Copies of this chain bind each other. A is one copy, B any other.
Amino acid sequence: MTKGIIHYEVGEQIDVYLLVKSVTKGIASNGKPFLTLILQDKTGEIEAKLWDASLDDENTYVPQSIVKVLGDISNYRGRTQLKIRNIRPANASDHVRVADFLEVAPMKQEEMMEKLTQYIFEMKNPNIQRITRYLLKKYENKFLEYPAATKNHHEFISGLAYHVVSMLDLAKAIVKLYPSLDADLLYAGIILHDLGKVIELSGPVSATYTLEGNLLGHISIMVSEISKAAEHLGISGEEVIILQHLVLSHHGKAEWGSPKPPMVKEAEILHYIDNLDAKMNMMDRALEKVKPGEFTERIFALDNRSFYKPTFHR
C-alpha cells in the first residue's frame, strides 16, 4: 500500500514500519554514542543515524527487529539518508512480520520446484538424470530458500532457485534455435552449477561465507558432491566427468574462479546463459531506481559501469 523505501525522494516525510538489517555503534565528536541503522523493506534499504543513543536504545534496535519510524528523507554525500524524528520498536498489536520486509523471488517455491521436476523428467540420458535428481533432492530445501549470492545479483530469498529456473527457460529457447546442443547436459549443468552455494553460504537471509565457502568455494564443493553422488549411485560413465567439468568451468576463466575453462560446447553455453541472466538481473534492479534520462549508480560487478535509461523508454 505504502510505497517502497527506495522510492521516496529527498524532502519527503515518511511514517512507516521498517526492518533493522544491521546496526553499528559510533562515537560522535561530542563524545556521545550514536547508532547507524540500516533499515529495509522489500524494495531496498536506507541508512539512518540515531544520535545520543542510550544503552537502552542499543538493546532495543537490534538486527531483525522491526521499527516504526517517523522522519525525513535527506541527502548525505549524494546518497539518501533518513533523518529520524521519532522511532519505536514494533509490538504485537502492529501486526507486522519479518517476512513482510524481506525481498523474495517473484515466483512461488512450489511453482519453481514443479518446473525443475519437469526439466529433469524430460532428460533422456539416465546417468545425467539420476545424478541431477539425486543432488537436487539431497539439498532441495536449502536450494529453494537460499539467495544466489551475498550481493550483486539475485541476492534475495529463493534467488538461487529463481536464477536457475530463469536460466533453464533461456536454455530451452537456445536449444530450439541451435539443435546441436545436448539439452540433457545443459539442463543438468544449469541445475547443479550453483548448488554448492547451499554449503558455501550461511543461510537464506544476510548470508555470509562459511569456512568451506571461504577455503574451498561452491565450485570445488559441488565437484566433490558429484563425485560422491556418482559413487553412491554406482555411475561411472563419462557423463560424471563432463558434469563435473560443466560445474568446474562455469565461471569461464581461471581468474574468475574456474581452474579449467569450458572445453565442452554445453559448458561454454552454460557460462553464457549464467552471465546473461545475472547481468540482466543486475541491470534491471539498477535501472528501476532511476528515471528515463538518468544514469544508474555504478555497478561493481558490471566492471563498475553506469547504465543510461533512454528518454524514449516510456
Contacts and interface: CB of A to CB of B under 8 A. Distances in A.
A214 interface: yes
Given A177-B170, A259-B257, A310 B264 contact: yes
B239 A312 contact: yes
A51 B31 contact: yes
A132 B31 CA distance: 56
Given A29-B34, A305-B263, A216 B245 contact: yes
A233 B2 CA distance: 47
Nearest to A28: B29
Given A264-B308, A310-B242, A220 B272 contact: no
A130 to B, nearest CB: 14
Interface residues of A, number: 84
B268 A238 contact: no
Given A182-B310, A280-B178, A272 B269 contact: no
A307 interface: yes
Interface in A106-137: 125
A43 interface: no
A179 to B, nearest CB: 11
Contacts of A302: 268
Contact of A254 (B238, B254, B275): B254
Interface in A261-291: 261-265, 268-269, 272, 275-276, 279-280, 283-284, 287
